[in-house]
Amino acid sequence: MSVTVFDPTPCALGEGPLFAHGRLFWFDILNSRLHARAPGDAEATTWTFDEMFSAAGILPDGELLLASETGLWRFSPETGARERIVAVEADNPVTRSNDGRADRQGGFWIGTMGKSGEKSAGSIWRYHRGELRRLVADVTTSNAICFAPDGRRGYYTDTGTRKIMTWALDSHGWPAEEASVLIDLADIGPPDGAVTDGEGALWVALWGEARAVRVLPDGTLDGEIALPARQPTCPAFGADLSTLYFTSARKGLDAEALTAHPVSGGVFETRVPVAGLPEPRVILAD
């Protein structure tokens, strides 16, 4: 599959891509920035915040739900105004938000991690119709949060374990069983962000491996995409659901690595043979 540069902006830690309202939104976590660009635009629009933000969902009224190091926020891309909806680890200066995604029951999952990668400092939370609940504790690097097409199965990883976990979800989107291992990527690479396509397969970015892999719902590998960035972070489907975007990171790369992968930190796009799914809306309250 051919991969091209969608946006060359060199993010220190590009993350959280989300296609909404004709534009791709993505974050540069370490620089506290949110970027947005429509296909065909000359350049991206950028907002700079006073704390780190990392993930987003779409609200029914067209505004966005943003996750930051202190909570979940309502954000207007039109005015730049934001309002905190709920605090998430706001009293813990060690952690920040990382990977997150809306589920198909109207909830939003957000993982946290230590700002310096502190072991077991983070958690995975779910916000659903006004209720915030911790689902997983003692997480070092939360990633790969995504959901089956019918919403009855969820996925996540603690990247350093190299294991993608899965569990059944009830009709309201809460875990209905203990999590189990979907696939162990010990011989493949560290799993970062992931998204599911229309067949329920996961596209998983592999940190440090300059590629992404497709994992079937039964846990078997089914193809890969080579990417021009050493550290891809997270995929998202575009408006046509056949274009797959990938964010990437530049942090920690030495001169040799940047010479080999000069567009690291940019956003890339490719066409995939299996269409994705529209991102569900986050319902804040009944």
Q: How far apart are CA 256 and CA 264, in angstroms?
A: 12
> Mean pLDDT across the stretch 114-121?
98
Please provide the DSSP assignment of 167-231 as one string: EEB-TTS-B-S--EEEEE-TTT--EEEEEEBTTSPEEEEETTTTEEEEE-TTS-EEEEEE-SSSE
- What pLDDT is stored for residue 27 in this prediction? 98
List of domains in the chain: 3-271 (2.120.10.30)
- What pLDDT is stored for residue 1 in this prediction? 74
Q: How far apart are CA 178 and CA 125, in angstroms?
A: 16
Among candidate residues 28, 99, 192, 197, the one labeled active-site is 192
Q: How far apart are CA 245 and CA 271, in angstroms?
A: 9
Q: What is the mean pLDDT of the chain?
A: 97
Name the pLDDT band for 286 (thresholds 50, 70, 90).
Answer: low
Pairing, β 122-128 against β 131-139: antiparallel
In eight-state DSSP terms, residue 9 is -
Residues 174-228 have pLDDT tens digits of 999 999 999 999 999 999 999 999 999 999 999 999 999 999 999 999 999 999 9
Question: 52, 97 in Cβ contact below 8 A?
Answer: yes
Which amino acid appears at position 71 of this protein?
G
- What pLDDT is stored for residue 188 in this prediction? 96
The answer, yes or no, to whether residue 167 has pLDDT greater than 70, is yes
Please provide the DSSP assignment of 130-163 as one string: TEEEEEEEEESBEEEEEE-TTSSEEEEEEGGG-E
Q: How far apart are CA 252 and CA 261, in angstroms?
A: 13
Q: How far apart are CA 146 and CA 268, in angstroms?
A: 20
Residues 50-90 have pLDDT tens digits of 999 999 999 999 899 999 999 999 999 999 999 999 999 99
286 flagged as catalytic:
no
- What pLDDT is stored for residue 95 in this prediction? 98
- What pLDDT is stored for residue 285 in this prediction? 82
Q: How far apart are CA 82 and CA 47, in angstroms?
A: 11
Angle at 178 between CA 174 and CA 179, to 5 degrees: 90
pTM confidence score: 0.97
Residues 221-276 have pLDDT tens digits of 999 999 999 999 999 999 999 999 999 999 999 999 999 999 999 999 999 999 99
Residues 86-100 have pLDDT tens digits of 999 999 999 999 999
